[in-house]
Structure formats: C-alpha cells, structure tokens
Structure 1
Amino acid sequence: MSKFALLFIFLFTAGIFSALFITPVASVLVYQLVYFVNPDIRWWAASIPGIQYSFIASLLMLVVLTIRYKELSLQAEWKKQPVFKWMLALLLMYGFMINFAIVTEVHKAFTQDFAKRVIIIFAAYKLITSERALNACLWAYVAGATYIGYIAYVVGRNAQGRVEGIGMVDTGGDGNLTAAAMVPALIILTYMAWMGNKKIKALAVFCGAFIANGIVLINSRGAFLGVVAGTLFFLFYMIFSRYQRKGQRGTAILIVFIALAGTVYVTDDAFWTRMETLKNTEDGGESGSHRIDFWMATFDVLEDYPLGVGIQGFIELSPNYLPEHYFEGRNTGKATHSTWFQVLSEIGWLGLFFLLSLLISTFRLSRDTKRHLINSENYDAYFKVLALEGALLSFLVTASFIDRGRSEMLYWLILFIAIASNIYYLRSKDPEGRRLKRAT
C-alpha cells in the first residue's frame, strides 16, 4: 500500500473516531478530506477498500448532527441566517424546473446532487460553531488545495499545455473548474501568513507555492483574473484601512513583493503566452472572447423558453442559436461558459434573481459583521472576514468565465462567511449571552 493510501485511510478513520467521540467539526474535516483527495480517481485507489467514501463522509456529518442537535442548535440557528432562505429558493427553483427541463433526466440527476449539497451546507453550519473550528476548516481547505497543486506538479501539462483529470468530485476532471476551486485559498493564505507566527508564515509560503504553481500549470485565464481581483481587494484594505496593526502596511507591501517574486519564479513562457491571449480579442477562439456570443445567445433562448431550459438545456439547444462554425468537428453543443448565464439559462430570470439575492445577502451579512467587529475593536477577526470576502470575490470573478452555478466551492465560501457572522456577530446579539458563552 502506498504512503498516500495509508495516510488517507489513517486520516479518514481518525476523523470518524474524532467526530463521534471528541468534536463534531471533525465530521466536516473528513468531508473536506474526501472532497479534495477524491480517492476514487487517484493512482493509489486500488490499494484501499472500494467503499463509497463520499457517502460515508456525508452520512457521518448527518449522524453527528442528529446526535448533538440540541446542543448545536443553541449555537447556530438556521433561521437567524438570511442566506439560507435564498439557498432553499434556488433549490426549489431547480426542483420546479424538472417539469420544464429540455433534458429531463440530466436535470433531475443534477438537481438531486444539488439538493445533497445544500443539505451538507446546512449541516456544516451547525457543526462549525467556534473560531477554532472555523480555522480548522479553513486550513483543511488550504491543505486540500495544496494537495491538488502537488498533484498538478507531479502530473504536469499534457500535449495541449493544460493539466486535466486531477480535480475534485464535482469538477469532472476539467482543469478550469479545478483551478477555480484553488484560487480562493491564496487569499485566505495571505491572511494566515500575515496573522500567523513564524511557523505559520513558513507553512503558508509552502502551501501557497504549490497552489500558485498548480494554477499556473493548469493555465486558466479566469483563475488568473480571480487571483488578481481577490488579492488586490484584500491588500487594498490592508494598506488603506483606518484600522491598522503595527507594521501592517509594511507587511502588505512585503506580501506584494513576495507574490511578485513567486509569480516570476513559478510562471513560464507557456503561461504568459496564454495570458496574453486575453488581449487578442480579434481571435475569439484564442482569447476566449467568443464566450460573448454564447452569453448573448442565452437571451435568445429565453425568448423561446422564458422559464429557462434546465440543466444541460443550453448545450442541447445551442446549435439552434449559435453559428455553425462553433460546432465543426463537435458532436455536442456549447455551454454558456459563465456562471451568471448558466443560471439564467437553467432556471430563468427568477433563478438568477435568487442567486444574486443570495450573494447580496451574504455581503450584507459580512458588512454587518465587520461593523460589529470594528465597534468591538476585534480587528484580527475584521480582517479575517475581509479575507473571506476576498476569497468569495476571487471565485466569482473566476466563475464569470466558467459554469459554476451549483459548484461545491461557491456554497462553501458563502458558508464560511455565514459561520464567521454567527461566531463574531449573531451570537453576540443574544440578550442572555447564552450562545456567546457556549462559543468561548
């Protein structure tokens, strides 16, 4: 048995034991482990028991929640979180569209997957009830992204200059989707490197190197734009915020120089050649600007199908709405290549409204949390929330060029902000202080 297989089995088994007998957040860590490692596709999969690890991890979370529900409900109440009603609205809209989807069976199957995802998000909210638990989940996410970066390094690019088939369960082996899930980890790592001691800083640099190198190897232009947007967002607040720690601006400038040096070190000619295609809008196939044709076709589809066409409906109908040259040598249609237009095509204008409402609700919740933290002079937590905002922003920028409307990572990033708001803000509003006391 390989060392990776042994390590996975050890962590998986230890996590189950810890979840049942020590701390409920361990069940979430087991779920994250399985999600990122995705053992079924690894070369060492033949040397481990052939069981449904993802199902067991999900079931573990639900079992632990059931056992400790009364205790956990006092610390994390679903009804206090406005983001959850919009998640449910999206799920109900996808369920409603089963009756009108063009590819009914595909839409039904993926809607069931989305329902499972929402259930897991709801469960995780109650299982992550302290700052230490949130930090553990953030580090688990970073560790998972680091592992994917390591796999990208080992596998290397294929003949097309990309890295495919290394990602998580919901990426289907697509490199762009894998890179999108890795991008937010770099913004979270920036915060951890800043706030941590020397050992944490060294660990952050180590993890960041593998994650950044993995993104470079994958050669995703959207991921590159997401990294730039999220990093600039967080560093802007580090440099220009009125709420400064000693040496904060100097640290931010140092991070900029380290990031630039790291970028020069890990990038190669193939990466910059691909990034330069962003400027070559005359060749839509090279620059990706042909996506605009797919986006505009979404409006034509909605004229004929006002409620949307369901999951994979746009791909099925795209030959009727796009020029023939897009399908030369292809047996399948084209996707929208944008989360916003994906949701719009799948569940119509009402569905897009629900998604935008979910995101607006998330950022409003984050804003209220930051105000409370400023009033409490808890500036470390204030910048953590800013980092989580930057992480979500980086993903949204990346997802603007790929279909990620039902992706695992989108909802986990929203969840992290919701959990932070619960820990730092919502529980402090309890007049009896009961929930705040339990959190400490």
Structure 2
Amino acid sequence: MSLTTVVFIILYAIGAILTMYNPLYGIAAYIFEWHNHPPFWWWGRDLPDIRWAFSIALVTLISLILNRKKLPPLENINYKPLFWLIFFVLNAYMVSTISAVVPDQSFLKAQDLLKITIHLALFVYIIRRPKDYHLIIWVILFCVANWGRISFQEGTNRHLGVAAPHATGGNAVAGYVMAVLPFFGIMFFTGKRWEKILSALIVPFIFNMLILENSRAAILALLVVVFFSFLWLKGRTRLQLVGMMFLGALIFFQLTNEQFWQRQEDTEFEKDTSAMSRIYLWRGVLHMIEDYPFGVGGDGFEELVVEYVPELQRRIERKHERKSAHNTFLNVLSEWGILGLIFYSGFLIHCFLILRNIKRDAQYYEHQKFYHFQAIALQLSFIGIIVDGMFHNQQYLELFFWNAAFTICLRNMQVNEIQLWNKGDFTALESFKKPH
C-alpha cells in the first residue's frame, strides 16, 4: 500500500469521525473525496469499493439528525432556487421513462442529478455562518492546490494527471480549476496575510495546469473572467487587480511553451477540425430537438449523433468516438428537452438574481464587505463555467452546483444578519463574525 493511499485513508477517516460531531465536516470530507476519488487514481486501485462519496454523505446525514439542534440558529432558510433543480430532476426521470434512447443510462444520469440535489440541500441547511462558508471554500482551494502540485510533477502536454467524477477529461479539469481562480483572487484581495501568501503561491500552479492542458475554451473563459473582474471591482481593489493582472500575465507567459502558442493560434475554423466539428454538432442538436422535443435522455445524443451529424460519420466510425454536444446548454437541450433547458436556465438565472441582491444589500449595511466580495467571486466563477461550457459539456460539473449552494447560503446568512442588526441583537450578531 502506497504512502498516498495511507494518507487518503487517514484523512478520510478523520473527516468521517469529525462529521459525527459536526455535519459541516461531512461537507468538507465530501469535497475532499470528490477531488481524490480512489477509483480514478493509481493509488486507489487496491482499495475496496465502499462507495466513498455515498458513505461520507450517509455519515453526514446521520450526524445531521443527531446534531440538528446544536447547529447555529438560522431562521427562514430559503430553498426556493432548489425548486428549479427539483423540477429539472423530475423532468429527467420523465424523459428517461418516455423518450430516452438508452433508458438504463438515462436513469443513471437522472440519479446523478438527484444525488446532486440532495447534496445541495445538505449544503444549504448545514452552512450557516461565514466561518463555515470560509472553511468549505478553503477545502476546495487546498484540494485544487494539490491538483496543481500533481500536474506540476507528473503532468505533460494535454495530460494533467488528475481527474474527478464528471471531470475525467483534461478540458473538464481545466474548466474546473479556471472557475476556482476567482476564489483565490478574492482571498488575495480580502484575506488575512497567510491567505494572501498561500493564494499567491498556489495560483502559478493553476496557470501551469491551464497551459499544460491548453484548452482554448478555458483560456477564453479566463480572459472573460478577468474582464468582468475589472468591471465589478472598484476603487483601491481595482488598482490592486491591475497590478495582479500584470504580475499574473508575466508569470503566465513565463510558463508557456511552444505547443501552447501553436494551439492557441490555430483559430481558423476551416483548418481547425475540432472547431468545425462543434459547429456540426450544435447544428445536429437543433435538428434532433425537432424530432425529440422532450429530449433523448442521458447520453442519448451520443447514440444518435451519426444520424444527425452525417459530416462526422466517417471520423466517428473510424476512431470509435463518442460525441456529446460540446456545449452545456445544447447538451441539456438534447438530453432533457425544452423543459429541461427551461428549468436549468431558470436555476442559473435565479442564482444570478440572488447574487445581485447580495451585492445590493451589502452596500447599505456595515460589516457586509464579506458578502459583497464572495458574491463577486461566485459571479465570476459562474461566468467562467458558462463561457467554458459554450465549447464543452459542463452539465454535471460539481462546482456549478456547489456555487449555487454557496449562493443560497450567503443570502440566507446575510438576510439573518440584517434582521439581527435591525433588531439591535448585537449578542447574536457575534456568531456572524467574519473570518476576515
């Protein structure tokens, strides 16, 4: 048994034990397990399949039942955005029943969405204080930092050496770590000294991952995120951003290699087969939805792709490829139909409206900068996922749903804090003390 295996088992066991005392650690352990899912790693091959994610989720649920009354008070928890997701899941099961091309596989995809919804509900119920939120964000950042270390040591061009559920391909991993960068940025701007130092040390490793994978979609998404960062950050923070952008660009260019620039410069559609294939695939989805308005179920488009995208038939048959829509929204449309796209888009729009409200209210009350900057980080992360998802399928990316849960958690905490502030209950407000 390797040292890495032993370390994983120890950390997983510690997480499970701590979870029995506080379900918040169950969320942290779940995120840790997602980044280090044993079946996806060489060191996990000898471990028994105990359904690692399900096991820690079950322990979290048991702990929640046992410790529910010990959780910090939070009144009128708002679950309304989750109704979009619930309808999305119900629609997925309906499509799997009535029109799925591969029903068994479609039901598995619907089951994945159901699990994600349950996890989101747990996130929203358990994360009740800014310090809780802050801890979970840092768990994600440390896990991504470890990915950066692994890619630096073992990664090569177009192969990062890391993977996670629903992020097994390099493009998906690049899109994920790119969307985490805004949280590093906010930690650098608003965090304590140790948080600033750690963020500055970790980000170059994330840049290295993006360069190695050489995903044009992730690079484009990063540029869009930087643009919106400049628009939304004001005053001294914007000046700091300019300095950080200059330093970040310098580090990024120092890390690039010849292969990176060759791929980035190949943007002529007629010469770029991957770009042209996306055009064919997107067109094929629009043709297919005319015949299947309710969608073809999970992985159904991959089964019918030759029928609706004849331009790629020879390539698919020769290479035995499986092609998705290579666009998150079109993939949702192809799998779960028009209703599915409405529910998915409604869920996303609702999250953006909540983030807008968080930033609006943060302007009128003291000690609300934490909510303001975290809302900006979530907005930027969402934008990164959306832009990257225009060229890759990110429908099942966990960070998209985690961001939604974090959005709801932030709003619930902010509303409760404002209510206590208006009541003058400064004793209760002490529990909402910000981490920085």
TM-score (norm 2): 0.91
The aligned counterpart of 1:272 is: 261
1:166 alignment partner, one of 157, 162, 165: 162
Kept in 2: contact 1:75–1:427 (CA 8 A): no
Kept in 1: contact 2:5–2:43 (CA 8 A): yes
Question: Does 2:277 correspond to 1:281?
Answer: no
Question: Does 2:395 correspond to 1:400?
Answer: no
Kept in 1: contact 2:216–2:264 (CA 8 A): yes
The aligned counterpart of 1:383 is: 373
The aligned counterpart of 2:5 is: 5
Kept in 2: contact 1:75–1:439 (CA 8 A): no
Kept in 1: contact 2:40–2:164 (CA 8 A): no
Kept in 2: contact 1:156–1:163 (CA 8 A): yes
The aligned counterpart of 1:212 is: 207
Distance (Å, rounded) in 1 between the aligned partners of 2:230 and 2:63: 39
Number of matched pairs = 426
Question: Does 2:329 correspond to 1:340?
Answer: yes
Q: Which amino acid aligns with 2:268?
A: N
Shift of 1:71: 5.1
Shift of 1:196: 2.2
Query: After superposition, what is the alpha-carbon deviation per residue over 1:349-390, rounded to whole angstroms, capped at 9, x for unaligned?
Result: 111111111111001111111111111142343122111111
Shift of 1:408: 1.5
The aligned counterpart of 2:340 is: 351
The aligned counterpart of 1:228 is: 223
- Secondary structure of the 1:290 match is helix
Higher relative contact order (CA 8 A, sep 6+): 2
**135-144 or 5-14, which deviates more:** 5-14
Question: Does 2:359 correspond to 1:364?
Answer: no
Q: Which amino acid aligns with 1:166?
A: V
**58-67 or 384-393, which deviates more:** 58-67
Distance (Å, rounded) in 2 between the aligned partners of 1:77 and 1:119: 19
The aligned counterpart of 2:190 is: 195
**197-206 or 251-260, which deviates more:** 197-206
The aligned counterpart of 1:253 is: 242
Shift of 1:165: 5.7
Shift of 1:27: 0.8
Distance (Å, rounded) in 2 between the aligned partners of 1:426 and 1:337: 41
- Secondary structure of the 1:425 match is helix
Distance (Å, rounded) in 2 between the aligned partners of 1:205 and 1:73: 33
Distance (Å, rounded) in 2 between the aligned partners of 1:183 and 1:336: 21
1:318 alignment partner, one of 300, 305, 315: 305
- Secondary structure of the 2:288 match is helix
Kept in 2: contact 1:74–1:435 (CA 8 A): no
Matches within 5 A, 1:118-137: 118-137=117-136
The aligned counterpart of 1:145 is: 144
1:82 alignment partner, one of 76, 80, 83: 80
TM-score (norm 1): 0.90
Kept in 1: contact 2:120–2:401 (CA 8 A): yes
Distance (Å, rounded) in 1 between the aligned partners of 2:161 and 2:313: 25
Distance (Å, rounded) in 2 between the aligned partners of 1:210 and 1:8: 22
Shift of 1:70: 4.6
Query: Which runs of 5 or more residues in structure 2 are unaligned?
Result: none
Distance (Å, rounded) in 2 between the aligned partners of 1:122 and 1:257: 40
Shift of 1:335: 1.3
Shift of 1:291: 0.8
Distance (Å, rounded) in 2 between the aligned partners of 1:196 and 1:394: 22
Q: Which amino acid aligns with 1:129?
A: R
Q: Given the superposition, is the C-alpha separation of residues 284 and 29 from structure 1 closer, same or farther in structure 2, using an over 3 Å criterion? A: same
Query: After superposition, what is the alpha-carbon deviation per residue over 1:298-323, rounded to whole angstroms, capped at 9, x for unaligned?
Result: 11101111111111111111111112
Query: After superposition, what is the alpha-carbon deviation per residue over 1:327-368, rounded to whole angstroms, capped at 9, x for unaligned?
Result: 331334521100010001111111111111111100111111
Q: CA RMSD in A?
A: 2.3
2:173 alignment partner, one of 161, 178, 187: 178
Question: Does 2:95 correspond to 1:107?
Answer: no
Q: Given the superposition, is the C-alpha separation of residues 116 and 315 from structure 1 closer, same or farther in structure 2, using an over 3 Å criterion? A: same
Query: Which runs of 5 or more residues in structure 1 are unaligned?
Result: none
Provide the identity percentage: 25
Shift of 1:44: 2.4
Question: Does 2:40 correspond to 1:51?
Answer: no
